[in-house]
């Protein structure tokens, strides 16, 4: 559970921030897409299995052109919140999600080589082609099975510039 410790007043909408993990030293770039409060500390999002804590760089991001992998957003009434999140949101807190979920649940979780949302978009169709080739070039899926992917995200990173690693992780 992320501590709802406060840091950002209303003025940070549109601003980028960097969170760095004290365990794996991975980092993520975030952007506030709504006005609200963001935590100083969050669970590590750089690596799926890391149990470390990430700390805010207090919005000291010199290169505001950096692509954000995650965004802080204010949930709408349609969003399904967990009990801890409801309290946080009622206090003015924003929630964190990966940028560009693409409907496929692909989340960029790269730290050493952050994969930009645009790059992922460009890759999407290529990846589906490659996946399908691996599966023999043909696949039929029940709609129900596709609908039942809400609890997992697909994380990936680029290794040594020549290999993509993909992994399913439970949303947390
Ligand atoms: Zn970490």
Together in a domain, 71 and 127: no
Q: What is the pLDDT of residue 40?
A: 95
Q: What is the pLDDT of residue 51?
A: 93
Give the mean pLDDT of 16-43: 94
Give the mean pLDDT of 90-99: 87
Average pLDDT, the chain: 79
Together in a domain, 110 and 52: no
Is residue 110's pLDDT more than 50? no
Is residue 104's pLDDT more than 50? no
Is pTM, for the whole model, over 0.75?
no
Which residues, chain by chain, have CB under 5 Å from ion ligand 1? 21, 23-24, 26, 44, 46, 50, 52
Residues in the chain: 172
| Residue 53 belongs to domain spanning | 10-98
Q: What is the pLDDT of residue 22?
A: 96
Is residue 11's pLDDT more than 50? yes
Q: Of the candidates 78, 98, 118, which is a domain's last residue?
A: 98
Is residue 56's pLDDT more than 90? yes
Dist. CA 168 → ligand 1 center (Å)? 17
- List Cα–Cα distances, 62 to 30, 39, 92, 132, in angstroms: 13, 20, 26, 41
**Structural contact between residues 39 and 89, judged by C-beta atoms closer than 8 angstroms:** no
Dist. CA 159 → ligand 1 center (Å)? 17
Give the mean pLDDT of 112-131: 67
Give the mean pLDDT of 130-158: 83
Dist. CA 143 → ligand 1 center (Å)? 35
Dist. CA 94 → ligand 1 center (Å)? 21
Together in a domain, 92 and 16: yes
DSSP state of 85: H
Greater model confidence, 133 or 79: 133
Dist. CA 43 → ligand 1 center (Å)? 8
Q: How many domains does the chain have?
A: 2
Q: 3-state class of 147 per DSSP?
A: helix
Is residue 128's pLDDT more than 80? yes
Dist. CA 52 → ligand 1 center (Å)? 5
**Structural contact between residues 155 and 167, judged by C-beta atoms closer than 8 angstroms:** yes
Together in a domain, 85 and 37: yes
Dist. CA 48 → ligand 1 center (Å)? 8
Greater model confidence, 74 or 149: 74
Which one of 30-34, 85-89, 164-168 scores highest in mean pLDDT? 30-34
Q: Which of 172, 69, 72 is nearest to 113 (CA)?
A: 69
């Amino acid at each position: 559970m992320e501590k709802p410790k406060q840091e950002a007043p209303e003025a940070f909408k549109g601003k980028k921030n960097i969170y760095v993990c004290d365990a794996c030293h991975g980092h993520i770039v975030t952007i506030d897409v709504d006005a609200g409060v963001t935590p100083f500390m969050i669970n590590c999002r750089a690596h799926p299995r890391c149990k470390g804590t990430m700390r805010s760089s207090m919005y000291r991001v010199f290169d505001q052109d950096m692509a954000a992998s995650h965004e802080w957003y204010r949930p709408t009434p349609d969003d399904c919140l967990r009990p801890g999140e409801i309290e946080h949101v009622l206090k003015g807190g924003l929630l964190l999600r990966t940028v560009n979920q693409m409907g496929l649940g692909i989340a960029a979780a790269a730290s050493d080589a952050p994969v930009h949302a645009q790059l992922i978009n460009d890759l999407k169709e290529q990846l589906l082609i490659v996946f399908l080739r691996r599966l023999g070039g043909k696949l039929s899926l029940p709609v129900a099975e596709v609908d039942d992917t809400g609890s997992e995200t697909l994380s990936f990173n680029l290794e040594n510039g020549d290999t993509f690693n993909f992994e399913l992780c439970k949303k947390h």
